[in-house]
């Protein structure tokens, strides 16, 4: 999807010097390996509306990263849209770890009534997934909500077999079980008897035609940064006409605040959101991180601590790598 910074939203692209002049790059350790990493890097800078974050994963190319910079600029340089709520209920996030470690992870998400469990990760056997999901169900009890995320790792046959094995854990939905829209449609037909809703993430945010994916799923996952900003994500959600779950990309509390503003701006928010991931970080850039309290996070802009920015500053060569990336992506947007 193309990125456009709209003047009517005060989304004029700032000069490159405005971005690089106050750039702070941080490298934050994680409690547990997640998405194959143990350290999360992010670039932070301050705009007229407050601090903002640019943190596409390092493997993303410049074209994809351009949406993230558009989102960062919008959040830092434009006022927020009208908000419908002051806090947002969030889910716990359980990485692909042994079932025995589940209680310790869930303890970092106090009051969360929903958990998203990573499955189908490299090196994780199907029986490991079943045990992990069952451990989450046991910990949350029958009233809890358990959703799983396969990150498009299964083909249709693998997805069907896995979901039939996981169905006894009473799944709220399965997120992106397969990579393509045709696979999602076929899987939906095959598992109608299980009554497990299907949610699309990558098929929404990385697709040239997200409407096609939305037509064959029950839920859409929307993320402010990968979709080009809060307003772009709001417009897309309205266009798709499906219940939405607002999620994050393992952001610092600066980036999570952007996601919280998106969630608060949606008129309807039927599902708990994936915005509690500050609990996966062993460090943050703010003194009061957006950690779940009673299962929710507040909707507010976060301000980094100079002490923590210094404490978790990335090595000079990594800071230079991010500055070069911003130069390239800024040129694409300009």
Q: What is the greatest pairwise CA distance in the chain?
A: 57
- The string over 281-318, giving b where at least 16 C-beta atoms fall within 10 Å of a residue's C-beta and e elsewhere, is bebbbbeebbbbeebbbebbbbebeeebeeebebeeeb
Residue 334: partners with Cβ closer than 8 Å, 6 or more residues away: 13
Annotated binding site for Mg(2+): 149, 175, 201
Active-site residue (options: 67, 116, 147, 223): 223
Which of 89, 118, 137, 205 is labelled catalytic? 118
- What is the spatial order of strands in the sheet that 219-222 belongs to? 92-94, 114-118, 145-149, 171-175, 198-200, 219-222, 244-246
Residue 25: DSSP 8-state: E
CB-based contact 264:88 (threshold 8 Å): yes
Q: Mind giving me the DSSP string for 92-110?
A: EEE-S--GGGHHHHHTTST
Is there a catalytic annotation at residue 118? yes
In this structure, what are the phi and psi dihedrals at residue 219, rounded to the nearest 5 degrees? -140, 145
Q: Catalytic site residues?
A: 118, 223
């Amino acid at each position: 999807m193309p990125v456009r910074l709209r003047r009517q939203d005060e989304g004029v692209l700032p000069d490159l010097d405005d971005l690089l002049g106050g750039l702070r790059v941080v490298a934050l350790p994680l409690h547990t390996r997640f998405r194959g990493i143990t350290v999360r890097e992010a670039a932070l800078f301050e705009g007229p509306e407050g601090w903002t974050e640019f943190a596409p994963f390092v493997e993303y190319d410049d074209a994809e990263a351009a949406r993230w910079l558009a989102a960062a600029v919008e959040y830092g340089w434009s006022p927020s849209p009208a908000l419908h709520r002051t806090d947002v209920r969030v889910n716990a996030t359980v990485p692909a770890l042994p079932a025995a470690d589940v209680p310790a992870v869930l303890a970092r998400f106090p009051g969360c009534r929903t958990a998203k469990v990573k499955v189908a990760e490299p090196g994780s056997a199907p029986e490991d997934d079943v045990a992990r999901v069952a451990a989450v169900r046991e910990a949350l009890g029958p009233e809890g909500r358990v959703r799983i995320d396969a990150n498009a790792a299964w083909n249709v046959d693998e997805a069907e077999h896995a979901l039939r094995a996981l169905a006894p854990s009473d799944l709220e939905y399965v997120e992106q079980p397969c990579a393509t829209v045709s696979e999602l449609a076929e899987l939906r037909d095959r598992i109608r008897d299980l009554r497990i809703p299907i949610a699309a993430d990558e098929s929404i945010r990385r697709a040239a035609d997200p409407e096609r994916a939305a037509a064959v799923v029950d839920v859409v996952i929307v993320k402010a940064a990968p979709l080009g900003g809060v307003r772009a994500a709001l417009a897309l959600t309205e266009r798709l006409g499906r219940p939405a779950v607002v999620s994050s990309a393992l952001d610092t509390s600066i980036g999570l605040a952007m996601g919280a503003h998106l969630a608060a701006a949606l008129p309807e928010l039927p599902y708990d959101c994936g915005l509690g991931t500050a609990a996966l970080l062993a460090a943050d850039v703010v003194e009061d991180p957006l950690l779940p309290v009673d299962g929710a996070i507040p909707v507010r802009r976060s301000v980094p601590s100079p002490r923590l920015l210094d404490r978790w500053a990335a090595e000079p060569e990594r800071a230079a790598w991010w500055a070069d990336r911003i130069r390239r992506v800024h040129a694409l947007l300009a």
